[in-house]
Structure formats: structure tokens, C-alpha cells
Amino acid sequence: MMESVLELLGPELYYGALTPALKIAVLLFVGILPVITYLVLAERKILGYIQVRLGPNRVGPWGLLQPIADVMKLLVKEDVIPNRAIRWAFILAPCLVVGPAFVIFAVIPVGPPAAEPGGLDLFITDVNVGLLFIVAMATIAVYGLIIGGWSSNSKFSLLGGLRSAAQMISYEVPQGFALVAALLLAGSMSMVGIVEAQKAAGVWFVFPQFLGFFIYFVAGVAESNRNPFDLPEAESELVAGYHTEYSGMRFALFFLGEYANMIVISAVAVTLYFGGWYRPFPNVEALSFLDFPFLPAGLVAVFWFAVKVFAFLFVYIWFRGTFPRYRFDQLMDLGWKWMIPLALLNIFLTALFKLVL
Amino acid sequence: MKRFLDKIMLLDLFAGLGITAKHLFKKKVTVQYPEERREPTHRFRGMFRLDEERCIKCTLCARDCPIDIIYIDWHQEVNPVTEKKEKVLDRFDIDVQRCMFCGLCEEACPTEPKSIWLTSKTYELATYERWQNLYVDIDELQDWKVRPEYTDKEVV
Amino acid sequence: MTEPGSGAQTLFDLKEMELNFGPQHPSTHGVLRLKLKVDGERIVDCYPIIGYLHRGTEKLFELHPYFQNVPHTDRMDYVAAATNNLAYVAAVERLFGLTVPPRARYIRTLLCELQRISSHLLWLATHAIDIGAMTPFFYTFREREIILDLFEEYCGARLTLNCMRPGGQPFDLTVGWEERCREFIDDFPSKIDEYEGLLTENRIWKKRTVGVGVLDPDVAVDYGVTGPLLRGSGVNWDLRKATPYEAYGEVEFDVPLGKNGDTYDRYIIRMEEMRQSSRIITQCLDKLPEGKIMAHRPRVMKGPKVGEAYAAIEAPKGVLGFYIVSDGKPGPYRCRVRPPSFMNLQVLPEMTRNHLLSDLVAIIGTTDIVLGEIDR
Amino acid sequence: MNDEPKKPGQDELPADEGGAETTPESPEADAPEAAEADDQAKAEAKAKAEAVAKAKAAAEAKAAAEAAKPPWEKLPVAPEDEDATDDPLVAALREQHGEAIESAFLCAGDLRVQVARSAIADVCRSLKIDHDFTMAEDLCGVHYPGREVGEFEVVYHLYNIPENRRLRLKVAAGEGESVPTVALVHRGFNWLEREAYDMYGIRFEGHPDMTRILLWEGFNGYPLRKDFPVEGIDTGSAIYPEYYDESAGPVTGTGTGWRPQPPPEPEPEPGAAAGEAEEGEG
């Protein structure tokens, strides 16, 4: 069937427009959105289990339909725009949070590139400056938070917006530095290239780059405003931070953005430090049963990628269940006095290492 | 040295993570309410019960009630069988919506066994209409069971 | 806020911003309202506004006979009803010259210490959630539930206990209560270790609490601050030791004291107080005498023609006092409550000055206020 | 309620505060088992007692039993005032403040000192500085309508932590008279004085912030005064004069308030009839 479509459209249109569009649709509606909704359920369940209770279990068996009910509720809820809010900005802000988070998925490879030309690449596109693209896109999200906090014209929102601005800007720096070190090691900015470099090296980059990974992940938690760095929306302090005044679908978009960000951070961490879609120890023949030879290779790749990402997401939730929240100045302190010097040191060491080799 | 190690290795944070991880697999304490019910203890102060036959109409319970929600009216009447004067209740109402279940009325009751008691183990008192459903008269006081138990299906 | 047409005063033009914190805010522990003046996040000034929960309890006391007032006291500090009951009945007993039988005294001590544990557990839960750790909340509530079960078994209510009467106890312990209580208390210290494992050594917790909301001992005494707040500043004043009431003179326990008077010290003190409470409970269970539980008293208690009594006890939140004036009627002429939270809240502006907004939340948590008691 | 009878032998305890040393074979131990066991002995005693002057013996026995009872079985005796003018603290205060210290009594362990209104701040200051009464424990007002020395009384409780001693100061104030503030001596009295003002309308002179604290600023009247009505208070006119006439604000105790309402009309409930029938059988 695909051949007939290819013939019908011609290769240019087929490869240039249809396949990416299809992939985007599949990724968005089969991949990210359900994953996010169920991630919320998983978070509530895991938090519940950590807190010796059961979590949601009323809607459907084991609460499995809870996310659908939640989405329905958020969709039909009244969408309130405060009187004094700056309307255009108020409406724009949630889109600015969600958009970039989704765009980043374009360059994240969930599986290997096509084995033969014309086959199916398990990513939307492989940009040769993929890492740069990710950093650039992640930066845009902060505008959403600031604009959201400011345009609500509420004091708590404003404080939340200010906090998020300061926090995201100061943690982007160490995050970028940590990525630089991984990039030095891989010698490529393409996400696929980095994964392949790990396979070629025979080792996940988390081992030579442990410090870098640590900095990246901590900064990532801060970037996605998650506990213990959830200051912009600290419930007990700022009511709900920058989205205090949001309700209904607009609030859902902020919500979506936060969870999409979590997945992005995890996915990038997996790609950069944990060998992407490859099974653990891809060069050790003895473990080849982990490739599940009886299954299609693409599926296995996606499986391993997903497993790794979910491990990260679990850690996120685990953190949320365990840690108290930092204070604003302590957060800055940690970012500027510890993370950035350590990240610089990491780059220096990595460069030295490269040089000596 | 230990402090230094702690600082580098984040031992304190991992200790906390360990505790939460341990609890992940512990038995959960949730009681699934409408299906599972906690049996109240014997002294649990719940909904009132009244035994009209035991009641001697002394109105001590009404007098001891700190918020005066027990309304008792009675008159004297000659019992046609025994030909003795007897007190007959006209009204024994409790305005349960204001009740704070302190149990002082039960303590004040001089009969043995008590003719008004709260240890009925009924606690599902929520209603949709205050005046209609939480102003209980003598019939309801004697038999609360006319109201169904709560279920998760019940939506009015 | 931006007033349309009133000149260009936006939020950005102000150097200091006025922030209305509460009365409906997740971490004001009720309906406390704070008028804050903030410079960025730094608090320049803090003016507490209270009274949103005022129910005229003191007037209610005047309208009821002595024994009917006990349920009203439950509603003041509604997380520690037993100690409220005790403070009130102690004042009434002092007014009447009633002596309480030993068994009743021990039962009261048991109840009060259980109540102290449960109140501190609730404090820990909310304090931790204020600082962002949400899990201790559920762990503490798991234990608190057991205590409430014990209360329910003893007196039939879980929260508003109404479990004491002037002159003694209305009920005796049920069969098996002692065993269940002992079972819980034997297990409880390990549970405290669990909470402490989550918080005490945690660097984030320490960063959020050490050096935050420092209360100078002189200032604390001057403001009439009592309870763990006062002891956190190193002032050794615990009424259980100073003027032993009920059975406290016959049991051994230590009064933990802090050094720095900061939030962390107060946290440590309350944790230690829970351990000491379980120690007291164990001793009380060991020593629990047999005998009557209610003193001989007239059915209608009429106070002396001219008389007054003040009795204070160490409630979980501080010194809770009742001052009763009698005029020979069956009810008090005037019944004044000295609520510990009221006095402890008063020092909040002192403690929060020049702290950040996040610290304000931590400090409100550490003062352990209950608005039902402040507003009465 | 559940005052289950205890074994009579254990009625008295080693830990009680003196007095009760006798074994309690007293008839007050109202335990039915014990009564049965002692039945025979009692009957004999009764027979003998009949012979002698019954009333006298009974009275004596009663008195003896009364004396032997532990304190919690006696009728309570309210503590009485003792004059405490010679108390060293009072003497020291007298020396400093002379006539301002009007009287001093000791009652139920607490020292109570009546102080002249104008001198209260000075007395508190000297108590704080010289006598270590540093803790501001409590302050409250009391209303005695029609009293000669002043309708209101302000009661201060001070505490001396090192000596574990509590002191009660009292100040009388008439309607419209103001009491010197002690909020500048003990800062803890700040809110308490505001509360006393809020509840009684007692003004404190020199107080930094003499506003209402628990009630709202538009509240009419002072609720803890004895003449303040418990029901039917207007609560809105003072602050919303544009909406309400004077003393015609929304009034509590009306409308859907908490007045007992007539019993609701009997509702035909399907389950009720069946329930009644069953109950009739039982």
C-alpha cells in the first residue's frame, strides 16, 4: 500500500511531507499525549503507594480510566480569564509552554534509523545540530511561564513567574554545559550520532560522564519545575505559582507542558547518557536475548527506549515523594555556586581526557 | 570524614529515598469506604436512639444538652388499663444538625438501661436537606434503619 | 493592582508590594490572614489579622453550667481536645476544691500524652508539607489514626473527645485498652525514626529550617511565648515539670531544650517530646492504679459565692490556662481562656522580619497554631 | 456511665495525698459482691445496734467514716481567701508603690494583688525588673455591672519562671476610664489588651495599636459585657452605612438562622411506614 501512495505522491512529497506528518501524528496521539495522561495516573498511583495508600482506583479497574475522566473534566470546565488579565498574553502563555516541549520530540530518536534507504526511520528528523536545537527550544518554555505569571495580574502569579524565570535561566547554564561535555565525548551534535557513538565506544556515557549526567539531571528536574525544585508553583507558598489564575483547558496545557518537559528531559538523558534505544551492553553477545530476536527490531528499540525513559520518570516521582522543597535563594545558590563550576570542571576534565587519548 | 562523605555522596538524600522505597511495598492502610466499613467501637457516639417505653419523661437530657436541641413535650394521662396517671410523650425531637455528639444527654439519663443512647454505631448522617432530614422525631429516633446505608452508586 | 486610568501604577512600579496572605491560603493552617509587605520575596512587614473563626466561646462558657462547658472546650484547639478538657476541668476543680482520684489522674495523663503525640504528629505532617515534603503527612496520619482509634474506644469520639468531667473521668478504660495502647507505644519510637529518617538529616530540610525564624529567649518570654517555641529558645519552662499536675509528678521524663531557637531546634524538640510522651505513657500504664475514677461531687455544682481560680497546663502548643470567676451560680461568671497559639502567633512578625516568603511558611508551620484556639 | 464497680480492697492507694490510712470496710464502697459477703456480719451488727442508742452511734460512725475517707470521696470545699499582706513580695511592692497596692490575698495557691489603676504599668515594670516576673501569661477583662469601684476589672497573670510562681494583678476601671498600657513593658500583652478592648471596650492608654482584634472593625458593641444580648445582634450598620440604616444591619438569629424551627411537615416516605410497623412488634 505504501508503495502505491509513494507512486501517487512522488518521492518528494512522500518523504518530505507525508511520512513526517504521519510520524508526528503517531508520536503525538499514540505516543506523547496518552503517555502524559497515564503518567499522571502513574504518578498518583506511585505516590499513593509510597504514602501507604492506594491512589486513584474508582474510575475503571484500578483507576485506569481516571486520566480520561480527568481530561474530560478539564475540557468541559469553565475557562476563566480574570478581568484585569492581559488577554492576549494570558492566552498565549500556555501555548508557549506546551509548543516547544512537543517540538523537541522531533529530534529525539526513539529507534534506529532505517536499515536500508527508503525504510522507516524511528524518529521524525535527525538534525545535525540536534542538541543545539533542544537547548534552544527548551529555552522558549520559560517565556510561557513568565508571560503566564505576569499576564494574570495577580501577585502570587507574578512571584511564581519571577521565580520560574530566575530558576530556569540559571539552570539552563549548567544543563547546557553538561551537554557540552557529552558532546565532546561523542563528537557529534546529532542525537542519532551520539547514540551510535555510545555503541561504538561500548559504554554508556553515564560512566565516563557521571558528573555531567548528575548535573544534567538535577538541572533537568529544576528545568521541569519538579520537586525538590518546584518553587514556581510551590503550593504551600504561592498557592499555585504562575498558573494560579488559570483554569480549565489552559491550566491543562500548563500541566501538559510540565509533564511533556519531564519526558523530554528523561528522553534526552536516555539518548545522551544511557545508550538511547539500544539494549544494555549492546556489544556483549551473551546478552543478545535481550534483543528479543523474535520481535521486529524497531519494536524492541522503542521498548528499550521506553523502559529507560520510564525509569527516569519513576525517579522523578520518587523524588517528589521524598524531598522537601528548596528555598529560592538556596536554589540560586546551588545553581550558580555548585552546578556551574562543577559543569565547567566537567567540561575541562572531558576535554583533557579527549586530548590525552 | 563521615560528614565529608555525606556531603559528596548525598547519603542523607539516599536515606530518605530508601525509606520511601521501602514503603512502596508495604501494606496499604486505606479503607475502601463504602465497600469496607470500619466497625465503630462500643462506646462510639453516633446517631441517637430512644426507647420510648423506658423513658420516664424527666427531661433531664434536654436540660443537660449544652446547645438545647432536644425538644420534649409531654402531658399526663390516665392509663385506661392500670388507671394510674402516666406521662405521655407528645413530642421528642432532636435537631441533629446542630448536635455535637458530646453524649451529655446519655450521661444525664437516669433510667437503667439508658432510654436515650448514642452508641448505636450509626454515623452516616449526611443528608441533602438540612431541615427535612436532620430534624428527627420520635419515630426516627427509635428506628434509624429506615435510611439506607451509603453506597458508592448512590447519587441523588 | 492596576487601576485603569489611575496613572501608571502597575505591579512593577512598586518597590514594596503588599501581599495578602490568607485567609484562604494552603499553608496558613486555617483562616489566618497576614498582611505582608514584601520587597521582592523578602518580607519587610507582617501584620497578622485574626478573628475569622471567632465563635464567642468565652461568652458561651458564661451561659452554661460548669459540666456543660466541657464539650465547648473541645472546639478550641480541635486537634488536642483532651488537653483542653483537662485545662478546663483543672480550673473548675481548683475553684471547687475537688480532689481527683488517682486512677482518674493517671487516665488523664495517659489521654493528654496520647493527645500530645497526636497533635505533634499533625504538626509534623503540616509542617513538612509546608516545606514541600508531602510524604511524612501520610505516615504521621497512619499513626495518628491509631491514637484516634484509642480515643474512640475510650470515650466514643475521635476528635472532639469530651472525655473529662470536673472531679474525675466519666468512663473507665475498656477491657484491652491498655494492651492496645501499649502495643502502639512500643512500636511508636520506630515510627518516629522513620519520620526522622526522611527529614532530620536531609540537607534540604536542614537548609530550610536551620537558622530560620530565630527566636531570642528574652523576646520569647517577653511575648509570653510558651511550649516548644519557648523551649526551642532554651528557656526551661514546662509546666509538667514546674508545677506537676495530674500524674506528672510521679513519672520520669525529660524536657528537651533547644540552643539556637530556630525552626530546626523546634522540630527536634517536638520529635523528642513525642518520644518522651511515649515514655510517660509506658510508665503510666505500668503504674495505673485501681480505684474510683470520679470524685464525690454534688449533682448540681454551684460555685462559691465569690471565688476565682486559674489553672494552667502544658498543652501540646504551650501553656493553656483557664481563669474562672464564680458568683455562686451553676455556671461560671466569667471564663477566660489563655490560648497558647494566640500568644505564639503574636511573635510571628518578630520571627519573620527580613525572611523570605518561603521562610514565612516554614515559620507559620513551626509556631504550630490552631486558629480555632486563637479566635475561640 | 461505665463506672464499673472496683474491688473494694483496692479503693485506696499509696499515692494519695495523706489522710486516708484506714482499710476501707466503709459502707461507702458500694460494691454489690462485697455487700453480699458481709451480709451476715451486718445483720448481727444491726441487731446489736438496735439495743443501744442507735442514732448516736450511727452519727459517730458516720463522722468517723467521713474523716477516714480519701479526699475525693468527701464533699469538696472551695478554697478560701487568706490575707497575704505580709507576703515578702507584697511587702516589697508596698515599699515601692505604697498605696497603689490596695490589697493582697492568697487563694488556691495564687497570690492576688489589687493594684490602683494608674500604677499598673509601674507595678508591672518593677515586677519584671526587680522580681523576675518576666513572663506575660495572661490578661483579661471581667465585667461587673453596677460595681462601685469600677464596672470593669482587668486581670493580669504574670509568671516568674525561675521561682515557678504566678501572680495575679487586678485593676478596676469604670466605664470610659482607660488603663495605662502594659504592652510596652511586656510586649506579650499587646494583643491581649487589644482583645480586652475588643470584648469589653476597656481602653488602654498608650497602646500602640488600639484596634479590634477578633471582631471586625464595624462591630457594634462589646460582646463579653454582661448586658450584651446573646441573640439578635446587628452586625452591619457601622461599616456599611450606605447599605444599612443605623442598627439595622443583617441581624443574627433571624432568617434561616439557628432558631428552633417548627417540626417539618410529615413526609410520606416509602420506608417509614414499614419501619414503624416493625418497631411496633418489637
pLDDT digits (tens, 9 = 90+) for A127-166: 777 788 888 888 888 888 888 888 888 888 888 888 888 8
Per DSSP, the three-state class of C271 is helix
Strands D203-205 and D101-107: unpaired
User: Higher model confidence: residue C100 or residue A32?
Assistant: C100
* CA-derived radius of gyration, chain A: 21
Are A160 and A149 contacting, i.e. CB atoms less than 8 angstroms apart?
A: yes
Alpha-carbon distances, residue A184 vs A41, A274, C56, D217 (angstroms)? 38, 16, 72, 68
Query: Helix axis angle, C177-199 relative to B11-24, nearest 10°?
Result: 140
pTM for the full model? 0.82
Query: Distance from first CA to last CA of chain A, Å, rounded?
Result: 51
Task: Look at D138 and C297 and tell me if their CB atoms are within 8 Å.
Answer: no
Once rounded to an integer, what is the mean pLDDT over residues A156-177? 85
Chain A neighbors of B21, CB-CB under 8 A: 50, 318
DSSP secondary structure string for all residues of D22-63: S----TT---HHHHHHTHHHHHHHHHHHHHS-HHHHHHHHHH
User: Higher model confidence: residue D90 or residue D72?
Assistant: D90
C20 within a domain of the structure (yes/no): no
Question: C126 vs chain A: nearest CA distance in angstroms?
Answer: 10
The 8-class DSSP code of residue D257 comes to S
Omega of the bond prior to C349 within 30 degrees of 0, cis? Answer: no
Domains and CATH numbers, chain D: 82-205 (3.30.460.80), 215-254 (no CATH)
- Most distant pair of Cα atoms in chain B: their distance: 96
CA A348 remoteness from chain centre: 27
Confidence (pLDDT) at A118: 61
Element (H, E) at C316: none
Interface contact C39, partner B, CB < 8 A = no
Are D53 and D99 contacting, i.e. CB atoms less than 8 angstroms apart?
A: no
Task: Look at A52 and B23 and tell me if their CB atoms are within 8 Å.
Answer: yes
To which residue does cell 494574570 refer?
A152
Q: Which three cell numbers stand for residue C299?
A: 449533682
Task: Look at C132 and A53 and tell me if their CB atoms are within 8 Å.
Answer: no
* Integer Cα distance of C62 and C312 in angstroms: 19
Task: Look at D272 and B146 and tell me if their CB atoms are within 8 Å.
Answer: yes
Per-residue pLDDT reduced to its tens digit, A332-341: 888 888 888 8
Alpha-carbon distances, residue C320 vs A45, C80, C303, D94 (angstroms)? 42, 11, 22, 31
Backbone phi and psi for residue D249, each to the nearest 5 degrees, phi listed first:
-75, -175
CA A54 remoteness from chain centre: 27
Q: In which band, very low, low, confident or very high, does the pLDDT at D18 lie, cut at 50, 70 and 90? A: very low
- Out of A197-211, A299-313, C348-362, D21-35, least confident range: D21-35
Confidence (pLDDT) at A175: 86
Backbone phi and psi for residue B67, each to the nearest 5 degrees, phi listed first:
-115, 10
Res A285 pLDDT > 80: no
Per DSSP, the three-state class of C213 is coil
Please name the chains neighbouring B, where neighbouring means 3+ C-beta pairs under 8 angstroms: A, C, D
Task: Look at C142 and A327 and tell me if their CB atoms are within 8 Å.
Answer: no
Backbone phi and psi for residue C234, each to the nearest 5 degrees, phi listed first:
95, 5
Per-residue pLDDT reduced to its tens digit, A71-101: 888 888 888 888 888 888 888 888 888 888 8
C35 within a domain of the structure (yes/no): no
Are B144 and B118 contacting, i.e. CB atoms less than 8 angstroms apart?
A: no
* Integer Cα distance of A341 and A178 in angstroms: 11
Report the candidate in A178, A159, A165, A162 with the shortest Cα–Cα distance to residue A220: A178
Once rounded to an integer, what is the mean pLDDT over residues D188-211? 87
Residue type, C125: A
* CA-derived radius of gyration, chain D: 30
Closest CA in chain A for residue B25:
A49
Chain D neighbors of B93, CB-CB under 8 A: 263
Mean pLDDT is highest, among A6-20, A286-300, D153-167, for: D153-167
A 10 A CB-CB count for C12 gives 9
Interface contact A214, partner B, CB < 8 A = no
Task: Look at D258 and B98 and tell me if their CB atoms are within 8 Å.
Answer: yes
Strands C334-338 and C33-39: unpaired
Interface contact C158, partner D, CB < 8 A = no
Question: A327 vs chain C: nearest CA distance in angstroms?
Answer: 6
Report the candidate in C294, C287, C343, C295 with the shortest Cα–Cα distance to residue C315: C343
Burial class of C337 by CB neighbour count within 10 A (0 to 12, 13 to 18, 19+):
buried
Task: Look at D260 and B95 and tell me if their CB atoms are within 8 Å.
Answer: yes
Cβ contacts from A onto B, under 8 A: 37
Return the bridge partners of C326, or none.
C307
The 8-class DSSP code of residue D142 comes to E
Res A68 pLDDT > 80: yes
User: Higher model confidence: residue B22 or residue D39?
Assistant: B22
Burial class of D22 by CB neighbour count within 10 A (0 to 12, 13 to 18, 19+):
middle
Q: Which three cell numbers stand for residue A257?
A: 507542558
* Integer Cα distance of D198 and C54 in angstroms: 12
- Out of A46-60, A158-172, A310-324, C297-311, least confident range: C297-311
Question: D20 vs chain C: nearest CA distance in angstroms?
Answer: 12
Q: Structurally, how many domains does chain C consist of?
A: 1
* Integer Cα distance of C137 and D232 in angstroms: 43
User: Higher model confidence: residue D248 or residue D56?
Assistant: D56
Res A121 pLDDT > 70: no
Are C136 and B16 contacting, i.e. CB atoms less than 8 angstroms apart?
A: no
Closest CA in chain C for residue A160:
C41
Boundaries of every domain in chain A: 1-76, 80-356
Are A128 and A186 contacting, i.e. CB atoms less than 8 angstroms apart?
A: no
- Give the residues of chain C that fall short of pLDDT 70: 1-14
CB-facing half-sphere around the CA of C361: CA atoms within 13 A:
28
User: CA B39, B43, B44: angle at the middle one, nearest 5?
Assistant: 55
Are C221 and D161 contacting, i.e. CB atoms less than 8 angstroms apart?
A: yes
Q: Which three cell numbers stand for residue C172?
A: 473507665
Residue type, D68: A
C365 within a domain of the structure (yes/no): no
Of all residues in chain A, the percent with pLDDT exceeding 90 is 0
Cβ contacts from B onto C, under 8 A: 73
This complex has an ipTM of 0.80
Are C290 and C107 contacting, i.e. CB atoms less than 8 angstroms apart?
A: no
Backbone phi and psi for residue A215, each to the nearest 5 degrees, phi listed first:
-65, -45
Q: In which band, very low, low, confident or very high, does the pLDDT at B90 lie, cut at 50, 70 and 90? A: confident
CB-facing half-sphere around the CA of D168: CA atoms within 13 A:
25
Residue type, A71: V
Burial class of D120 by CB neighbour count within 10 A (0 to 12, 13 to 18, 19+):
buried
Chain B neighbors of D260, CB-CB under 8 A: 68-69, 71, 95
Q: Which three cell numbers stand for residue D164?
A: 515557678
Per-residue pLDDT reduced to its tens digit, C362-376: 888 888 888 888 888
Mean pLDDT is highest, among A166-175, B113-122, D230-239, for: A166-175
Task: Look at D6 and C290 and tell me if their CB atoms are within 8 Å.
Answer: yes
* Integer Cα distance of C62 and C182 in angstroms: 40
- Most distant pair of Cα atoms in chain C: their distance: 79
Determine which of C175, C290, C347, C369 to mutate to test the interface with D (most D C-beta atoms within 10 Å).
C290
C376 within a domain of the structure (yes/no): no
Nearest to D271 among B93, B106, B146 (CB): B146
To which residue does cell 516554614 refer?
C362
Confidence (pLDDT) at C2: 41
- Which residue range forms the structural domain that includes residue C110? 57-337
Cβ contacts from C onto D, under 8 A: 166
Interface contact C97, partner D, CB < 8 A = yes
* Integer Cα distance of C358 and B2 in angstroms: 30
Alpha-carbon distances, residue C283 vs C44, C100, C119, C288, C292 (angstroms)? 48, 19, 20, 8, 20
Confidence (pLDDT) at D20: 38
CATH number at residue C224: 1.10.645.10
Residue type, C105: R
Nearest to B30 among A53, A322, A323 (CB): A53
Are C320 and C92 contacting, i.e. CB atoms less than 8 angstroms apart?
A: no
Per-residue pLDDT reduced to its tens digit, C180-222: 888 888 888 888 888 888 888 888 888 888 888 888 888 888 8
Of all residues in chain B, the percent with pLDDT exceeding 70 is 83
Task: Look at C11 and A52 and tell me if their CB atoms are within 8 Å.
Answer: no
Helix ranges (H only) for C167-310 are 177-199, 203-209, 217-222, 228-232, 239-242, 263-287
Report the candidate in C30, C36, C34 with the shortest Cα–Cα distance to residue C53: C30
* Integer Cα distance of C13 and D124 in angstroms: 47
Strands B49-50 and B85-95: unpaired
User: Higher model confidence: residue A15 or residue A64?
Assistant: A64
User: CA B46, B51, B56: angle at the middle one, nearest 5?
Assistant: 120
Q: In which band, very low, low, confident or very high, does the pLDDT at D280 lie, cut at 50, 70 and 90? A: very low
Determine which of C198, C202, C205, C301 to mutate to test the interface with B (most B C-beta atoms within 10 Å).
C198
Backbone phi and psi for residue D55, each to the nearest 5 degrees, phi listed first:
-60, -40
Mean pLDDT for all residues in chain D: 69
Interface contact C159, partner D, CB < 8 A = no
Question: B41 vs chain C: nearest CA distance in angstroms?
Answer: 5
Please name the chains neighbouring C, where neighbouring means 3+ C-beta pairs under 8 angstroms: A, B, D
Are C370 and C120 contacting, i.e. CB atoms less than 8 angstroms apart?
A: no
CB-facing half-sphere around the CA of C177: CA atoms within 13 A:
25
Confidence (pLDDT) at A231: 78
DSSP secondary structure string for all residues of A323-345: --PPPHHHHHHIIIIIIHHHHHH
User: Higher model confidence: residue D217 or residue A326?
Assistant: A326
